[in-house]
């Protein structure tokens, strides 16, 4: 593989990050071990922000706290000028702990109990994006009790039932089998007019924003509504929130269908194409395209501030997971490499996320064998990579799993094993512990007998 800018190989053949030997780092902190690159995190943020600022005058980049809620990492982004997007009272607490003031926080999410809304109002958050009429009424009541007029946005969900076509399209059919899970977020296009009308009637709410997610369809979905609001209700939208979903492209997402087709190709002697889809995302091109659509539709109208909610784009490539090989075995016609961290630390999101892997203590060795890389848990889905080519590995080797900065720490769990430590490195070679390794007692400390 081609190593990222900040990774090098030392004279001893060990993988290094900012000249820090990652194998030796495991000797200090143990494995598994999360390692975060401060410079990469900052570079990702600055690149993303600049891409949109070059093509639009008013941009607000709101880091999605849930993506990686480590306070040290959140604080770095706060110090670089990011806003925060929170999706729960816990997220809000973490954002405040990281230094974000309320006027730099936007509150999203379909579940906002009264306690969460009250806390958000106490902290004077900039904007609350409501996702149901009931939430709207609840927020109005709480704001009234507190003597506050709260700025809100309304999340619009573009989902439309495909009706008969669901039975002719595999993706639609699967979605239908799962009751169209995505339809529960926000308000439908059909409900949007009534939702804004009702929001304008509520005396403790100020309608200032509109949002959707992910960003791909934002212009097509939101801009006609903005035009209608201005013409029919005299509402000028201040914040146009196009959500997140910006894929950095460093990891490859595949489904069961992709694995089946790849297996069939191999069975008839064709070369695998499974890993051909990975590639860096051109955020500059995306920014031009998205903003171009928005400008075209808003020509001659009031231009709102654009809110963006990146998470994975900022943090994914900034984190790696170091794991140690426990043993290797042959079974079922495959070679299995068992390591000390897996799905408990880097859970999957429906799709299978295939990450790049380097044997950190043999970083210059050529790949020579195909293996399945699996974790320590007792269920089939606990794997890191399948049919991946690596140098010959043996017990004690340290593997570096790339692209582990997103939905890892914040979604990790204590199933069978305590959670590991996390460290932060920067270009000076400084190593900072940003999360302590858990003990057995940490796992049990809230239990009572």
pLDDT tens-place string over residues 230-249:
889 989 999 999 999 999 98
**Are 141 and 195 in a shared domain?**
yes
Per-residue pLDDT at 249: 86
Residues 58 and 166 in one domain: yes
Domain that holds residue 327: 7-37+317-444
Query: Between the CA of residue 113 and those of 107, 200, 362, what are the distances in Å?
Result: 12, 22, 51
Residues 168 and 309 in one domain: yes
What is the distance between the terminal CA atoms of the chain, rounded to a whole angstrom?
52
Give 407's pLDDT tier (boundaries 50, 70, 90). very high
CATH of the domain at 391: 2.40.37.10
Percentage of the chain with pLDDT > 90?
A: 78
Same domain, 309 and 322: no
* 297 domain-assigned: yes
Backbone angles phi, psi at 91, to 5 degrees: -55, -45
Q: What is the DSSP letter of 164?
A: G
pLDDT at 2: 44
Is residue 163 very low, low, confident or very high in pLDDT (cuts 50, 70, 90)? Answer: confident
* Shared-domain flag, residues 81 and 225: yes
Please report the pLDDT score of residue 1 as a whole number.
39
Q: End of a domain among 315, 343, 370? A: 315
CB neighbours of 408 closer than 8 A, spacing ≥ 6? 34, 68, 319, 321, 345, 346, 347
pLDDT of residue 180 exceeding 80: no
Does 268 map to a domain? no
d(C-alpha 67, C-alpha 248), whole Å: 13
Predicted confidence band of residue 307 (pLDDT cuts 50, 70, 90) = very high
Say yes or no to pLDDT of 80 above 80: yes
Instruction: With respect to residue 258, please indicate whether it lies within any of the assigned structural domains.
Output: no
pTM: 0.94
Whether 255 has a pLDDT exceeding 90, the answer reads no
High-pLDDT (> 70) share of the chain, % = 97
At 3, is the pLDDT very low, low, confident or very high (cuts 50, 70, 90)?
low
Residue 109 belongs to domain with CATH number: 3.20.20.10
For the stretch 31-61, pLDDT in tens is: 999 999 999 999 999 999 999 999 999 999 9
Angle ∠(63,350,90) on CA atoms, nearest 5: 40
188 burial level (CB within 10 Å; 0-12, 13-18, 19+): middle
Say if residue 311 is in the same domain as residue 390.
no
Q: Does residue 16 share a domain with residue 57?
A: no
Q: Are 351 and 386 in contact (CB under 8 A)?
A: no
* Domain assignment present for 213: yes
Q: What is the pLDDT of residue 441?
A: 97
Mean pLDDT of 162-191: 80
Q: Does 273 reside within a domain?
A: no
Q: Is residue 325 part of a domain?
A: yes
pLDDT grade, residue 386 (50/70/90)?
Answer: very high
Check whether 116 has a pLDDT greater than 90. Answer: yes
Is residue 194 domain-shared with residue 96, that is, in the same domain? Answer: yes
Q: Does 234 lie in the same domain as 198?
A: yes
Residue 419 has pLDDT above 70, yes or no: yes
Q: What tokens were used for 350?
A: 């429906």
In this structure, are residues 356 and 402 in contact, taking their beta carbons and an 8 Å threshold?
yes
Same domain, 18 and 68: no
- The whole-chain average pLDDT of the chain stands at 93
Residues 89 and 30 in one domain: no
Instruction: Pick 305 or 168 by higher pLDDT.
Output: 305
In a domain, 78, yes or no: yes
Confidence of residue 352 (pLDDT cuts 50, 70, 90): confident
Tell me what the mean pLDDT of segment 98-116 comes to.
97
pLDDT at 277: 62
Token code pair at residue 187:
């308000």
| pLDDT confidence bin for 278, thresholds 50/70/90 | low
CA–CA dist 151, 131 (Å, integer): 14
- Res. 327 pLDDT band, cuts 50 70 90: very high
Q: Is residue 267 part of a domain?
A: no
Give how many domains the chain has, as a whole number: 2
* Claim to verify: residue 201 and residue 333 sit in the same structural domain: no
pLDDT value, residue 45 = 98
Question: Count of alpha carbons within 13 Å of 54, Cβ hemisphere only?
Answer: 13
């Amino acid at each position: 593989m081609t190593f990222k800018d900040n990774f090098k190989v030392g004279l001893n053949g060990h993988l290094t990050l900012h000249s820090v030997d990652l194998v030796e780092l495991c000797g200090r902190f143990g494995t598994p071990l999360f390692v975060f690159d401060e410079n990469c995190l900052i570079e990702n943020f600055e690149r993303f922000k600049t891409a949109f600022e070059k093509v639009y005058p008013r941009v607000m980049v709101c880091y999605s706290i849930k993506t990686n809620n480590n306070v040290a990492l959140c604080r770095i982004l706060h110090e670089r000028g990011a806003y925060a997007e929170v999706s729960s009272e816990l997220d809000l607490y973490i954002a405040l702990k990281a230094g974000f003031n309320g006027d730099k926080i936007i509150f999203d999410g379909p579940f906002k109990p009264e306690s969460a809304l009250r806390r958000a109002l106490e902290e004077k958050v900039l904007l609350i994006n409501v996702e149901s009429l009931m939430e709207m009424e609840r927020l109005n009541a709480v704001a009234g009790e507190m003597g506050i007029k709260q700025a809100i946005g309304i999340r619009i969900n573009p989902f439309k039932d495909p009706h008969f076509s669901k039975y002719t399209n595999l993706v639609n059919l699967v979605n239908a089998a799962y009751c169209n899970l995505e339809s529960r977020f926000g308000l439908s296009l059909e409900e949007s007019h009534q939702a804004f009308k009702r929001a304008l009637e509520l005396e403790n709410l100020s309608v200032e924003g509109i949002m959707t997610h992910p960003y791909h369809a934002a212009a097509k979905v939101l801009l006609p509504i903005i035009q209608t609001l201005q013409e029919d209700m005299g509402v000028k939208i201040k914040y146009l929130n196009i959500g997140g979903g910006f894929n950095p492209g460093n990891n490859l997402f595949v489904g069961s269908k992709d694995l089946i087709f790849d297996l069939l190709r191999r069975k008839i002697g064709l070369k695998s194409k499974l890993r051909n889809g990975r590639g860096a995302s051109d955020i500059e091109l995306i920014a031009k395209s998205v903003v171009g659509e928005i400008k075209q539709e808003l020509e001659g109208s009031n231009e709102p501030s654009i809110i963006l909610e990146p998470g994975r784009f900022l943090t994914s490539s900034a984190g790696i997971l170091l794991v140690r090989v426990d043993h290797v075995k042959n079974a079922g016609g495959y070679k299995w490499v068992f390591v000390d961290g897996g799905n408990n630390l880097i859970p999957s999101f429906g799709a299978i996320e295939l990450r790049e892997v380097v044997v950190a203590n043999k970083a210059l060795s050529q790949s020579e064998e195909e293996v399945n890389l699996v974790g320590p848990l007792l269920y089939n889905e606990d794997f890191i990579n399948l049919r991946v080519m690596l140098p010959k590995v043996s017990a004690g080797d340290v593997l570096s799993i790339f692209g582990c900065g997103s939905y890892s720490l914040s979604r990790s769990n204590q199933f069978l094993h305590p959670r590991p430590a996390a460290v932060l490195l920067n270009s000076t070679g400084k190593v900072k512990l940003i999360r302590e390794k858990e003990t057995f007692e940490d796992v049990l400390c809230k239990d009572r007998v």
